[in-house]
Structure 1
């Protein structure tokens, strides 16, 4: 039986442990169970718009508790007045049922730098990718086929080889433009990661860049020179996608050197199949043990 995702379901959450947390972003990942299935719940304070913040200060606070008073500097904790709240306090994301791969991804862990040659890619990474059951990325295919999230799609081209979709990433609640985060999903299911890109894909990458600029401007009034377009390696899921993020976005964890590759650089290189790629890999990642074995 599929249980609905609602308040009553969340009240049944059986907490196990904290996977990771960030005081900078006000974000925390909790592991537990919902109806005897592993679940990851991500809680994060929502980002206020400028208008919302000023209104909150004037009319939305019930109480403040000053814990630092050293003029001219003050710090306080505030309680929101319940009666004013058209603004949500929390953004909640849920992964349910969560696999061991999901749990490893969101667990705070040691990271190491690895160098992946073309030979190691063939020997270590390809078998890892092919070990996943086909339904691992069925959620992506559901979006591409219009079965899920159709109302969130901002741009759609259904051509099987040159088409792609643009939609808001689930990490963005669409309230603050400086936190803008879009994702581009290609229609071509043979491109699993940037390792599969060839010179023949350069026209596709250029169309993605151009349309991302157009969509961000037309829908959100964000200029092209305010956008950072990049590709993750290793990616979270093996269907080629491009991240489109406002340059002032403060959550830089997914944009670090060694993980994020700028789309402009990818277009210029177009020889990625033979390159050695160096990146950070968590010791809980499914590839880590195989890399260790291949290095011995």
Structure 2
């Protein structure tokens, strides 16, 4: 092994020239610089959170400083904060915080570590069990925060586009996703909420919706690059989740460089362009659509859908919807 002290002395002597790259979760940066006239690359990565004990978690919470609320809607609140010592008041925020309060048992299960399973939802399973499950969730007030935005009660200052050109039935609005820090273009993440309430998920999309979906796709691309001129349309991807977190149709707009892990993986994210192509290829009349297809996706074993529908089906029991 080399001399530890001499190796450590190199870091303070590193003279930064420019940023080479940063991962889109803002966890790692690569810097080009030089030491004693010779170029080098410094790769910096944020340390993992200390989670070895409850005391370590308390210490993390106690270290939070300069907490600034970015917005809130119903039970959801989001913030920027700093984990730097109080005497470093000029340091920029280095933490993005999301608070769900008060939360439900379902929220706790969703955010808990758990095994996942791939399931196949046939048209019959969707009709008999999943559609009634969706209806149940919509009736429990889980869409209050969405309707608050659509009806102008909250977050109106965050709405960056509201399109009603083709009438309220086909209208939509766009605002930053609560997981985006609202400034790092490399991790841009926007959310488009449609005004219409007859489409709960991609399962409600039919061949007759193709013209509307194409219009929606084009408007979202055009509007995003107009608002964020550093981007071009082919640097954006539009996708829909299935199963979604909430049953009101919405589209995610992200930088193609965004590394968002599971939320954009196969079995969770379905590209809007691919959905349109699938609808165009489906045989049948204008009422034919995504509800007529079998779809595979993954579920956590603690999720309600697994425990009430797919778990019982796997065991040969009747679903409990």
**Aligned pair count?**
236
Q: TM-score, normalised by structure 2?
A: 0.67
Alpha-carbon deviation of 1:27? Answer: 8.6
Match of 2:214 among 206, 209, 222: 206
Contact 1:174 1:180 in 2 (8 A): yes
Match of 1:193 among 184, 201, 204: 201
Deviations 1:203-262 (A, max 9, x none): 221122111111211111211111111000000000000101101112222000111000
1:141 pairs with 2:147? yes
Gap runs ≥5 in structure 2: 1-26, 29-45, 59-74, 280-288, 317-321
The aligned counterpart of 1:163 is 171
Contact 2:114 2:300 in 1 (8 A): yes
The aligned counterpart of 1:294 is 313
Alpha-carbon deviation of 1:80? Answer: 9.2
Structure 1 outlier segments of 4+, above 6 Å: 23-32, 39-46, 78-81
The aligned counterpart of 1:272 is 290
Alpha-carbon deviation of 1:293? Answer: 2.2
The aligned counterpart of 2:269 is 260
Match of 1:178 among 175, 186, 199: 186
Aligned partners of 1:245, 1:251: CA distance in 2, in Å? 10
1:152 pairs with 2:171? no
Aligned partners of 1:174, 1:207: CA distance in 2, in Å? 26
Alpha-carbon deviation of 1:81? Answer: 6.2
Contact 2:80 2:93 in 1 (8 A): no
Aligned partners of 1:138, 1:168: CA distance in 2, in Å? 18
Aligned partners of 1:264, 1:91: CA distance in 2, in Å? 31
Q: For 1:14-163, what aligned pairs fall within 5 Å after superposition?
A: 82-85=88-91, 87-132=92-137, 133-158=139-164, 159-163=167-171
Gap runs ≥5 in structure 1: 1-22, 33-38, 47-77
Instruction: Find the residue that maps to 1:230 and give its secondary structure.
Output: strand
Instruction: Find the residue that maps to 2:181 and give its secondary structure.
Output: coil
Across the aligned residues of Structure 1 and Structure 2, the Cα RMSD in angstroms comes to: 2.9
Aligned partners of 1:203, 1:134: CA distance in 2, in Å? 32
Q: For 1:216-255, what aligned pairs fall within 5 Å after superposition?
A: 216-221=224-229, 222-255=231-264
Instruction: Find the residue that maps to 2:143 and give its secondary structure.
Output: helix
Aligned partners of 2:136, 2:126: CA distance in 1, in Å? 14
State the structure with more CA Rg: 2
Contact 2:177 2:190 in 1 (8 A): yes
Alpha-carbon deviation of 1:146? Answer: 1.1
The aligned counterpart of 1:17 is none
Aligned partners of 1:173, 1:126: CA distance in 2, in Å? 34
Instruction: Find the residue that maps to 2:277 and give its secondary structure.
Output: helix
Instruction: Find the residue that maps to 1:287 and give its secondary structure.
Output: helix
Deviations 1:22-75 (A, max 9, x none): x8887989999xxxxxx99989888xxxxxxxxxxxxxxxxxxxxxxxxxxxxx
